[in-house]
C-alpha cells in the first residue's frame, strides 16, 4: 500500500466535496487528515477562493475533525450528530447546515445516497493488507458503509492500536429493502458478521501513518445528585424484577456522562440486578471496573470511548477483556429489531422534561442545539422500559428541568415510561396525562418549583392534556427577563 502525506490527502479534496470520516465519538476518528484539509481551507480563504466541504461522520468526533474544520470555517453541512463547541457555534449561528438524524436511520440513508455521493472516506485502521483488508480500531460506527460507497478512500494506519484486537469487531451491514432479511442476532454475544472488511485496493488513495491515542476526555465525575438518581434507578429495576414485569437477564443501554456513570455504579452494586450485560452505543471508562468486578458480564457497543489510561488497561489485559467485549456497526448497535428482541432497559439523559412526560434531548430553549438526538430515540422508542434521568434544576436552581411544555420534543409522551431526578422516580406507564403530571410534580420536581407547576396544572384545566398556550412558555420568559424561573407569574 502506498504511503502518502496529509498534504496529499488535502490536495485530493475539492471545494464542495463530500468527505466521510470514520469513527464514532473520538474513538476511531481519523487524527491527522482533517487538519490538513483545514489548513488548505485557510489557504484558499486567504487567497479569496471558496473552500468548504460536506462532512459525514458516524456520530460525534474529536477535535481532530469537527474542531479543526470548524475553526477553519471549512464546513458546509454536517450529519448526523456532533458534540463540539466550535461547530456547535457555527450551527447555532446559521453558518453550518446541521441535520440531526436518528443514528439507526443513518446507514440506510447513506446507502440510498440521501447525502449525495461520498467523494472521499477517511477511516482509521489498526491494520491493512495489500489486498485491501481493513482492521478497524476502537469504533466501527458506519465506517464499513462509507468504505463500500465512497469513490476514494484514505486509511490512517494508527499504530497506537495493537493488531491483536482482531476479533473485537463484528461487521454486519443490512441490505436495502426489498433485500432485507432477519438479522440473526439473538443474544448480545452473537457474532453475525466479519472481523474485517475487504475493499478494492484501487479505491485506496494511500495510507497515512499515525500513532496517536483517541482524544477522549474523562467525563465530569458523579456527585450526590447523580448518585441519588442512580440509586433510584437501581431500586426501581430491582422492584420490576421482583414484580415479574421484567425478566432477567436484561441488557442495559446507557447514555454518556456523569448520570450514566452513577447509574452503572448503583446497578453494579444491586445484587438483584447483577450480573448484568450492556447493549449500548458508547462504552465508556465506567465499564472497566464493572467488568473487572464481575458485575458486568458482557458489553456490546459501536465504540470503545475510553481515556488512554483505561484503554491501555484493556490492551494490557486483552486476553481477559476480549471475552467481555464486542464492537458492532452503529446500524446494529441501534437497530430497533435488535433493541426490541433483546428487551433492553434504556437509560438516557434529558435536557428538559414537561409535566406530561415529553422529553427534550437536543435544543436549549427550543432553539440552540446542544449535541443532537443521536441514538437516544432508537433506544427509548424500542426498549422494554425507557428511563429518562436528569437533575431537577440547573444554574443553581434558577432553571427547572421540568417545565409545563417542552420547547422541543425529541421523545413524545408515548415513548417515555420512567422519569428520574435526584428527588425520586415517576412511573408514567398506563397513566393518562393528568395523572402523569401529578406523579412528576409529586416525585421529581424540585421543592422550589412544586407550587408553581402545581398551579399551572390546576390552571390548565379541561381537556385530556393540561395545556395553557398563554402560559406554556412563561417560565422561559421569566428566566429571560428576571434571570430566574422561580419568578414566573402565570397569566391567569
65-124 residues in contact with its own copies (CB under 8 A) are 77, 79, 91-94, 97-102, 105, 108-109, 112-115
- Closest CB 200 distance from its own copies, rounded Å: 21
Regarding 454 and contact with its own copies (CB under 8 A), the answer is no
Kindly tell me which of 24 and 250 has the beta carbon lying closer to its own copies: 250
How many positions of this chain bind its own copies (CB under 8 A)?
83
Angle at 85 between CA 472 and CA 67, to 5 degrees: 150
Separation CA 444–CA 354 (nearest Å): 11
Contacts 24+ apart (CB under 8 A), 105-108: 106/79, 106/80, 106/142, 106/330, 106/331, 107/142, 107/145, 107/173, 107/174, 107/329, 107/330, 107/331, 108/174, 108/176, 108/331
Residue 80: cis peptide before it, omega within 30 degrees of 0: yes
Q: CA-CA distance, 374 to 366, in Å (whole number)?
A: 17
Q: Counting contacts by CB under 8 A, is residue 443 touching its own copies?
A: no
Determine which residue in the list 81, 279, 456, 476 makes contact with its own copies, applying CB under 8 A.
Answer: 476
Considering only residues 17 to 76 of the shown chain, the ones binding its own copies according to CB under 8 A are none
Which of residues 61 and 362 has its CB atom nearest to its own copies in the complex? 362
DSSP string of 355-403, one letter each residue: TTS-EE-SEETTTEESS--TTHHHHHHHSSEEEEE--SEEGGGTEESEE
Strands (E), 133-243: 133-136, 152-158, 169-170, 197-198, 204-210
Nearer residue to its own copies within complex by CB, 31 or 54: 54
- Is 281 assigned a catalytic role? yes
3-state secondary structure 444-476: CCCHHHHHHHHHHHHHCCCCCCCCCCCCCCHHH
Of residues 281, 331, 422, 439, which has the active-site annotation?
A: 281
Of 292 and 341, nearer to its own copies (C-beta) is 341
| Residue selected from 201, 336, 397, 454 as contacting its own copies according to rule CB under 8 A | 336
Q: Which residues contact 344 (CB under 8 A, 6 or more apart)?
A: 250, 251, 252, 253, 279, 379, 382, 383, 384
* Using rule CB under 8 A, residue 482 touches its own copies: no
Cβ(59)–Cβ(330) below 8 Å: yes
DSSP characters for 100-143?
Answer: ---HHHHHHHHHTTTT---SEEEEEEEEE-TT-EEEE-SB-BTH
Under rule CB under 8 A, which residues in 139-168 are in contact with its own copies?
none
492 interacts with its own copies by CB under 8 A:
no
- Stretch touching its own copies by CB under 8 A, among 45-53, 268-276, 321-329, 466-474: 466-474
Region binding its own copies by CB under 8 A among candidate stretches 28-36, 226-234, 336-344, 393-401: 336-344
Q: Which stretch binds its own copies (CB under 8 A): 33-41, 66-74, 378-386, 439-447?
A: 378-386
Applying CB under 8 A, which of residues 14, 242, 435, 487 lies at the interface with its own copies?
435
User: Least distance in Å: CB of 393 to its own copies?
Assistant: 19
458 in contact with its own copies (CB under 8 A)? no
Copy the grid coordinates of residue 408: 422541543
Binding mask 403-432 for its own copies (x = CB under 8 A): --x-xxxxxx-xx-------------xxxx
Q: Is 242 in the site for its own copies (CB under 8 A)?
A: no
- Of the residues 64, 284, 382, 393, which one makes contact with its own copies according to CB under 8 A: 382
Closest to its own copies by CB, 106 or 136: 106
Footprint on residues 180-199 left by its own copies (CB under 8 A):
180-184, 186
Q: How far apart are CA 171 and CA 326, in angstroms?
A: 10
Report if residue 462 touches its own copies, rule: CB under 8 A: yes
CA dist list (Å): 303 to 300, 312, 346, 355, 386: 9, 15, 17, 34, 22
Q: By CB under 8 A, is residue 450 in contact with its own copies?
A: no
Is 470 a residue that touches its own copies (CB under 8 A)? Answer: yes
* Residue closer to its own copies (CB basis): 99 or 218: 99
Report in angstroms how near the CB of residue 285 gets to its own copies at its nearest. Answer: 28
Which residues are designated catalytic?
281
Amino acid at each position: 500500500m502506498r504511503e502518502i502525506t496529509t498534504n496529499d490527502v488535502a490536495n485530493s479534496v475539492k471545494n464542495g466535496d463530500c468527505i466521510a470520516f470514520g469513527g464514532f465519538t473520538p474513538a476511531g476518528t481519523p487524527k491527522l487528515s482533517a487538519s490538513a484539509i483545514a489548513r488548505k481551507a485557510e489557504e484558499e480563504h486567504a487567497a479569496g477562493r471558496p473552500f468548504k466541504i460536506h462532512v459525514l461522520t458516524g456520530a460525534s468526533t474529536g477535535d481532530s475533525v469537527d474542531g479543526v474544520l470548524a475553526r477553519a470555517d471549512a464546513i458546509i453541512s454536517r450529519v448526523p450528530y456532533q458534540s463540539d463547541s466550535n461547530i456547535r457555534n457555527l450551527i447555532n449561528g446559521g453558518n453550518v447546515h446541521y441535520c440531526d438524524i436518528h443514528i439507526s436511520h443513518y446507514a440506510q440513508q447513506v446507502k440510498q445516497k440521501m447525502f449525495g455521493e461520498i467523494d472521499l472516506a477517511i477511516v482509521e485502521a489498526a491494520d491493512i493488507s495489500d489486498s485491501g483488508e481493513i482492521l478497524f480500531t476502537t469504533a466501527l460506527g458506519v465506517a464499513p458503509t462509507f468504505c463500500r460507497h465512497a469513490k476514494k478512500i484514505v486509511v490512517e494506519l494508527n499504530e497506537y492500536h495493537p493488531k491483536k484486537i482482531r476479533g473485537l469487531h463484528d461487521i454486519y451491514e443490512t441490505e436495502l429493502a426489498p433485500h432485507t432479511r432477519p438479522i440473526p442476532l439473538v443474544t448480545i454475544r452473537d457474532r453475525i458478521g466479519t472481523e474485517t472488511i475487504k475493499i478494492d485496493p484501487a479505491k485506496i488513495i494511500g495510507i497515512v501513518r499515525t500513532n496517536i491515542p483517541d482524544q477522549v476526555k474523562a467525563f465530569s465525575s458523579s456527585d450526590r445528585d447523580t448518585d441519588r438518581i442512580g440509586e433510584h434507578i437501581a431500586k426501581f429495576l430491582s422492584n420490576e424484577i421482583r414484580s415479574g414485569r421484567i425478566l432477567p437477564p436484561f441488557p442495559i443501554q446507557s447514555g454518556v456522562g456523569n448520570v450514566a456513570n452513577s447509574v452503572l455504579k448503583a446497578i453494579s452494586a444491586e445484587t438483584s440486578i447483577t450480573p448484568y450485560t450492556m447493549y449500548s452505543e458508547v462504552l465508556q471508562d465506567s465499564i472497566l471496573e464493572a467488568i473487572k468486578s464481575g458485575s458486568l458480564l458482557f458489553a456490546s457497543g459501536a465504540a470503545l470511548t475510553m481515556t488512554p489510561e483505561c484503554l491501555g488497561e484493556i490492551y494490557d489485559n486483552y486476553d481477559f477483556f476480549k471475552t467481555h467485549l464486542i464492537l458492532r456497526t452503529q446500524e446494529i448497535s441501534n437497530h430497533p429489531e435488535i433493541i426490541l428482541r433483546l428487551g433492553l432497559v434504556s437509560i438516557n439523559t434529558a435536557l428538559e422534561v414537561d409535566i406530561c412526560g415529553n422529553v427534550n434531548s437536543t435544543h436549549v430553549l427550543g432553539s440552540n442545539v446542544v449535541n443532537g438526538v443521536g441514538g437516544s430515540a432508537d433506544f427509548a422508542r424500542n426498549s422494554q422500559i425507557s428511563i429518562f434521568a436528569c437533575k431537577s434544576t440547573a444554574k443553581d436552581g434558577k432553571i427547572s428541568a421540568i417545565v409545563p411544555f417542552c420547547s422541543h420534543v425529541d421523545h413524545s409522551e408515548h415513548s417515555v415510561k420512567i422519569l428520574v431526578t435526584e428527588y425520586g422516580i415517576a412511573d408514567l406507564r398506563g397513566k393518562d396525562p393528568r395523572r402523569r403530571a401529578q406523579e412528576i410534580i409529586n416525585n421529581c420536581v424540585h421543592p422550589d418549583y412544586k407550587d408553581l407547576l402545581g398551579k399551572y396544572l390546576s390552571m390548565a384545566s379541561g381537556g385530556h392534556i393540561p395545556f395553557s398556550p398563554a402560559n406554556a412558555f412563561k417560565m422561559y420568559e421569566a428566566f429571560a427577563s428576571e434571570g430566574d424561573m422561580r419568578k414566573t407569574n402565570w397569566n391567569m
